[in-house]
Every structure is written in C-alpha cells, then in structure tokens.
Amino acid sequence: MPTIFTKIIEGEIPGTFVWRDDECVAFMSINPLRTGHVLVVPRLEVDHWIDCPASLRDHLFAVAQEIGGAIHEAFAPEKVGLMIAGLEVPHLHLHVVPIDGIHDLDFANAAASVDHEDLDQAAGAIREKLERRDARGVSA
C-alpha cells in the first residue's frame, strides 16, 4: 500500500515542493518544527534508513545539504538541523530544519497546522536561494 508520502509524490495529495528529481523530492512539512522545515523523501518506498541503498542515501544527503544551504541563507538560523526519525510515516524522510537550539528539534513543539500561504512563502524563499545556487532540482 502506498504511503502518504508516495501519494504526495504522485500528486494524489497536495504538497508544497521545493525540489524534484528522478530519485527524490523535497516538500514543506505540514507540521513544521520551525518555519522552513523541509522533508527530503526518496521516490522509492524505503521504511527504515538502514535499508536504504547506499547510492540513494548519498543522493538524499546531497540534496538535504543543498536545501540546508538554501534554508540557512533564507532564514539565517544559528544552524540547520538534519534528522531522521522515521516513526510518523513508514517511508524514509530527512527533516531539514532551521534551528537556533536543540529544543527546535523537539516534535512536541511541531505546529498542529500551518496556513498554506505561510508554506508557499517559505517554499518560495527556499526555491529562490536554490536557484541562486544553481541547484538542478528546484521545483515549483
């Protein structure tokens, strides 16, 4: 059975994308820990990160690094955190989050909902920075 992320990737459920390529996508979290929280998700349905093929793992981290740089430029946090939790959806995904302290990675602080305009605005800022970096996977 397809995961909710597969349904987002295939356009069955709306998502606010910042990146698309042949191996993965990245879209804004609908329950963000902070403004600018992005999920990097492989197209391949892999549940646990330890089962991810090495080449795909490397690609996901390269994309997360590119997006993390754009997030850092767009929102000027102290750092950009990267986390794999994997408990909420059985489909590997990397959380790329602007942070000013470790508490910013606590899922207890995640927004219960977020206005779609806010997601669009944050995604636009990230896409703009990705375009300035000549990133190849920038997506509307």
Tokens found for residue 81 = 């955190």
Q: Which residue's structure tokens are 């356009």?
A: 11
Q: Which stretches of the chain are assigned E, i.e. beta strand? A: 17-20, 24-28, 38-42, 79-83, 94-99
Domain boundaries defined on the chain: 4-132
So what's the pLDDT on residue 86?
Answer: 85
Give the mean model confidence (pLDDT) for residues 79-96.
95
Q: What is the pLDDT of residues 34-75, one digit of tens each?
A: 999 999 999 999 999 999 999 999 999 999 999 999 999 999
Cβ atoms of 25 and 9 within 8 Å: the answer is yes
The confidence band for 128, taking pLDDT boundaries of 50, 70 and 90, is very high
Q: Does domain 4-132 have CATH number 3.30.428.10?
A: yes
So what's the pLDDT on residue 70?
Answer: 98
Burial class (CB in 10 A: 0-12, 13-18, 19+), 67: buried
Coil, helix or strand at residue 32: coil
